[in-house]
Amino acid sequence: MKANFLLISVLALTLSACTGKPETPDASNTRTAQSLYQDAKAVLDTGLYNRAIELLTAVESRYPFGPLARQIQLDLIYAYYQSGDVDKALAGIDRFIRLNPNHPELDYAYYMRGLSNLKADSNTLHDMLNIDRADRDLASTRQAFDDFKKLVSAFPDSKYAAEAKNRMLSIKDTLARHELIIADYYMRRGAYLAAANRGKYIVEYYRDSPLVEQALELMVESYDKLGLTKLKEDTYQVLKLNFPQNSKF
């Protein structure tokens, strides 16, 4: 009886000691949001974008309403863009714009939206081989133009405004080439009116593009094929007036 009592007492003390032993704290649980963010930002600055995404996402999940929340969201947008995950970058941008309509860095969000939409239409292999891809669908490129236009219109003093304007000019050239390729396609298949209308579109909407001269040439040729003498002569006069050195006709 006495032996059993002692055994029970020893077991009870052992269990008590086990349950009372303090757990080793997780170091990450004791760190501040600022400290965790600084580590994530340091990784982002080194270009390790996928790892930065992991760290930034963890901080955002742990401190979703903290003072650093919006900056973390902007950093995640940048990290997703740089890592090539355009869909997540655009989703983050749209969410940021929707929830922060008066944020002081809203211009940056629109700037990144334009860049992300441009990247959505890019093709790394074709860029490496320097192959013109103006013949592809350009829905995202057109959206990028609208994004940059919104930035320039709403934030004319933004530090991103000048580059946005340059991007818009480059996009115009791409869109004009796109129209010209389609017009040439129509010409080769005898759809002369459709070709002329594509050329006219370039002249009307991309008048500062260097491709306007080719568009006017195509219009003159199309109207000639259609027997539309008056339209042909009027277009020819516009061509010679604006490009006096033109020698095609």
Q: Domain map of the chain by residue range?
A: 34-99
Q: Would you call 100 helix, strand, or coil by DSSP?
A: coil
Q: Can you tell me the distance from the alpha carbon of 116 to that of 146, in angstroms, rounded to the nearest whole number?
A: 12
What average pLDDT does the segment 180-195 reach?
Answer: 95
pLDDT of residue 1: 47
E-strand ranges in 74-191 read none
Tell whether the model's pLDDT for residue 132 goes beyond 80: no
Retrieve residue 10's tokens: 């020893």
Q: What are phi and psi of 105, to 5 degrees?
A: -110, 30
Retrieve residue 189's tokens: 């298949």
Helix or strand (DSSP H, E) at 225: helix 212-226
Q: Can you tell me the distance from the alpha carbon of 228 to that of 43, in angstroms, rounded to the nearest whole number?
A: 65
Q: Give the model confidence (pLDDT) of 153-162 as tens digits.
A: 999 999 999 9
Q: What does pTM read for this prediction? A: 0.77
pLDDT of residue 48: 97
Tell whether the model's pLDDT for residue 246 goes beyond 70: yes
Distance in angstroms between the alpha carbons of the first and the last residue of the chain: 121
Q: Can you tell me the distance from the alpha carbon of 75 to that of 80, in angstroms, rounded to the nearest whole number?
A: 9
Single-letter amino acid, residue 189: R
**150, 161 in Cβ contact below 8 A?**
no
Tell whether the model's pLDDT for residue 212 goes beyond 90: yes
DSSP line for 191-209: -HHHHHHHHHHHHHH-TTS
Q: Can you tell me the distance from the alpha carbon of 168 to that of 115, in angstroms, rounded to the nearest whole number?
A: 11
Q: Can you tell me the distance from the alpha carbon of 71 to that of 40, in angstroms, rounded to the nearest whole number?
A: 12
Nearest Cα to 169, choosing from 111, 134, 200, 210? Answer: 210
Q: Is the dihedral of CA 139, 50, 148, 122 positive or negative?
A: negative
Q: Can you tell me the distance from the alpha carbon of 65 to that of 249, in angstroms, rounded to the nearest whole number?
A: 67
Count CB atoms within 10 A of the CB of residue 13.
Answer: 10
Nearest Cα to 103, choosing from 115, 93, 91? Answer: 93
Q: Longest Cα pair distance anywhere in the chain, in angstroms?
A: 124
In this prediction, residue 58 has a pLDDT band, given cuts at 50, 70 and 90, of very high
Q: What is the CATH number of domain 34-99?
A: 1.25.40.10
